[in-house]
Amino acid sequence: MEWVLTEDGTPTLFHPGYREAYHPRQGALLQARRLYLEKTLTHLYPAPRVLEVGFGLGVNFRAALESALERGVRLRYLAVEKAPLPREVLEAARLPLPRAEGVFREILEAWPEARFRGPWGELRLLFADVAQAELPPFWASAVYLDPFSPKANPEAWSAPVLLKLRLALRAGGRLATYSAQGAFRRALRGAGFRVHRVRGVGKREWTVGIAVGPLPAPGR
Ligand SMILES: C[S@@+](CC[C@H](N)C(=O)[O-])C[C@H]1O[C@@H](n2cnc3c(N)ncnc32)[C@H](O)[C@@H]1O
């Protein structure tokens, strides 16, 4: 895998198997803040509970943690990751987040463990394919759907996975993702989300799904 510097000065990796980078060229941290944190309102929740598909370099985790530490609230973060990166790689991906980086260094000392806890909150990792993972029901205030693209990584965007994510969200919780693909948006609607196209930063559109209204009938 090869390091690439994104336009906001934060690093990402290019994955030769998927032939995609872990983050957009416009900015790894930019996307974490403007899309995942802000479009799910994680930065406003008094006790955010985030469920992430694809922990990757932990950029989204660290952005959410920085926001929680700045506000003095506890973060609970559950990430599903089927191919965890080695500690040395995560250590090399430094971010300009003074509070979160200190906690992340401590986490990396014991990486990869399934659970980390501290006064800042809790990080749990399910080292599994999201299609097989068991998720806690009605738990999350936010879902960060961040696998590689639907074209390169289709199993992570499938209808059964989207339904599972819907069931893991609390009422009114929000799912955010960079993908604006039509087939994905239809599947998201079919999984019981109210779907919104939102303007992206450095990209025309992102997608937000809100967990409101009835769940789809069983068997759909
Ligand atoms: C775009 S990167 C995620 C970047 C990450 N969110 C961050 O903040 O650095 C995609 C990640 O999804 C993981 N992934 C891909 N398919 C998956 C699946 N089916 N289940 C769980 N994780 C998956 C990959 O291993 C990779 O780490």
Residue 5 lies in a domain: no
- Distance separating alpha carbons of residues 208 and 41, to the nearest angstrom: 11
- Residue identified by tokens 């995560």 is 90
Predicted confidence pLDDT, tens digits, the chain (220 residues): 899 999 999 999 999 999 999 999 999 999 999 999 999 999 999 999 999 999 999 999 999 999 999 999 999 999 999 999 999 999 999 999 999 999 999 999 999 999 999 999 999 999 999 999 999 999 999 999 999 999 999 999 999 999 999 999 999 999 999 999 999 999 999 999 999 999 998 888 999 999 998 888 765 5
Asked whether 20 lines ligand 1 (CB < 6 A), one says no
Indicate whether 16 belongs to any domain.
no
Report the nearest atom of ligand 1 relative to the CA of 144.
6
Q: In this structure, is residue 12 part of a structural domain?
A: no
Ligand 1 centroid, distance to 55 Cα (angstroms): 5
219 within a domain of the structure (yes/no): no
CATH number for the domain harbouring residue 162: 3.40.50.150
218: in domain: no
Sign of the C-alpha dihedral computed for residues 2, 91, 177 and 193 taken in this order: positive
**130 Cβ inside 6 Å of ligand 1:** yes
Any domain includes 8? no
Count Cβ atoms below 10 Å from residue 110 Cβ, excluding itself: 10
* Separation of alpha carbons 211 and 178, rounded Å: 18
Q: Is residue 157 part of a domain?
A: yes
Expressed as residue numbers, the domain containing 53 is: 27-210
Domains in the chain: how many in total?
Answer: 1
Q: Is the CB of 56 under 6 A from ligand 1?
A: yes
Give the chain's length: 220
Distance CA 213, CA 75 (A): 27
Is 4 contained in some domain?
no
Indicate whether residue 83 lines ligand 1 (CB < 6 A). Answer: yes
Measured CA to CA, the distance from residue 126 to residue 51 in angstroms comes to 11
**Ligand 1 test: best mutation among 82, 143, 203, most atoms within 8 Å of CB?**
82
